[in-house]
Amino acid sequence: MGNNIKDVASLAGVSPSTVSRVVANHPRISQETRERVRAAMKELDYHPNAIARSLVKKTSDTIGLLIPSPIDQFFLNPFFTECLRGITSVTQQAGYDVLLSTANFTGFNDETRLQHMLGSKRVDGVILLSSKIHDPLIPILEENHVPSVLIGRPAVSSSISWVNNDNQKAAYDATTYLLQQGHHRIGFLGGSQDLVVSVDRLAGYHAALRDASITLESNLIVSAEFLEEGGYTGMMRLMALAERPTAIVASDDVLGFGAMRAAGELGYRIPEDLAIVGFNDIPLAKMANPPMTSMNVHIDELGKVAAEVIIEQISQPSRGKRTVIIQHDLVIRRSCSSAAPPYFGSVITS
């Protein structure tokens, strides 16, 4: 185990550089030495020290993932897993590992964590998960011009690459679907308003109502964290209104689950008394009861493309920034219409 390149070299009777070349599959190595070195490596159970290699090559074959704090809470939303699944499916093929930035001594904030990760040279590029309206991380990435990509979009124009959905359009489409079903009192369960994604989805909801000439009612809009509990309490508020909504756009499936629970406890039947559309189409959406209509934003695809973009940025730093919009489509299930096919639902592509 504790063997280094020198040990291998002397056992094989060659110089360290030759061993290095064999490891790197350098072409101009005689077949014979190659085999001798390989044998020595095997005998000593030699594994190259990636740290030493990193120090000289200045690459780590590792992609950093900055998880917004509070980390704990982030993991609670399946969004994360789906995203990570997409990311790893690509990194795996491309030979990159993934480093989660979680180290967090005394009061380290996201900024410090990011700078720590960048400065430490342990990653070749960084994927940022979700953006805030006033996001201090983006300027840091811009200044350092490290390969980086944001899942989401910057609130203000920026030089970094990003991969996102057209969240405004998606919310517009979801709301419009409910309008077409005959609803005109539609509640909106939104995420916290310092996230760009929340603002975009709310804007789409607004636009759809406006285009349908329906007056906005601030009572019908509540914001909460992307957690089940938030959906539950938000929904309780909405249903306590003098004139309750007959349909809900939940800007996250988890919020939708909370809403369904609240509705159930209040004795409303779904979809007979109340229609619900969720957002993200996490795997659980189809397992809800009734299966939940949800805007599929293809989270895994967001992750995949983000990984592809970052790898491209790493290998071709000269290429400028890229911005990618991932398609969305509404998956109709029984939380909106008892006529919908069970479980898998039917899909409306925009």
Residues at the site binding DNA, with contacts judged by CB under 7 A:
2, 4-6, 13-18, 20-21, 23-24, 26-30, 32-34, 48-49, 52-53, 55-57
Question: What would the 3-class secondary structure string for the chain be?
Answer: CCCCHHHHHHHHCCCHHHHHHHHCCCCCCCHHHHHHHHHHHHHHCCCCCHHHHHHHHCCCCEEEEECCCCHHHHHCCCHHHHHHHHHHHHHHHHCCEEEEECCCCCCCCHHHHHHHHHHCCCCCEEEEECCECCCCHHHHHHHHCCCEEEECCCCCCCCCEEEEECHHHHHHHHHHHHHHCCCCCEEEEECCCCEHHHHHHHHHHHHHHHHCCCCCCHHHEEECCCCHHHHHHHHHHHHCCCCCCCEEEECCHHHHHHHHHHHHHCCCCCCCCCEEEEECCCHHHHHCCCCCEEEECCHHHHHHHHHHHHHHHHHCCCCCCCEEEECCEEEECCCCCCCCCCCCCEEEEC
Regarding 6 and contact with a second copy (CB under 8 A), the answer is: no
Select from 6-14, 49-57, 125-133, 186-194 the region that touches a second copy (CB under 8 A).
49-57
Choose from a second copy, DNA, none: what does 168 bind? Cβ within 5-8 Å by kind. Answer: none
Regarding 279 and contact with a second copy (CB under 8 A), the answer is: no
Regarding 190 and contact with a second copy (CB under 8 A), the answer is: no
- Shortest distance (Å) from residue 153 CB to a second copy: 25
Regarding 181 and contact with a second copy (CB under 8 A), the answer is: no
Regarding 32 and contact with a second copy (CB under 8 A), the answer is: no
Interface characters, 133-162, with a second copy (x: CB under 8 A): ----------xx------------------
Choose from DNA, a second copy, none: what does 30 bind? Cβ within 5-8 Å by kind. Answer: DNA
Interface characters, 79-98, with a second copy (x: CB under 8 A): -xxx-xx--xx-xxx-xxxx
Q: In the set 116, 206, 321, 322, which binds a second copy (CB under 8 A)?
A: 116
State both tokens at 32: 């014979």
Question: Based on CB atoms, which residue is closest to DNA, 27 or 182?
Answer: 27
Question: Based on CB atoms, which residue is closest to DNA, 4 or 104?
Answer: 4
Question: Based on CB atoms, which residue is closest to DNA, 14 or 174?
Answer: 14
Binding site for a second copy (CB under 8 A): 1, 46-52, 54-55, 60-62, 71-72, 75-76, 78, 80-82, 84-85, 88-89, 91-93, 95-105, 115-122, 143-144, 228, 257, 260-261, 264-265, 283-284, 287-290, 342-343
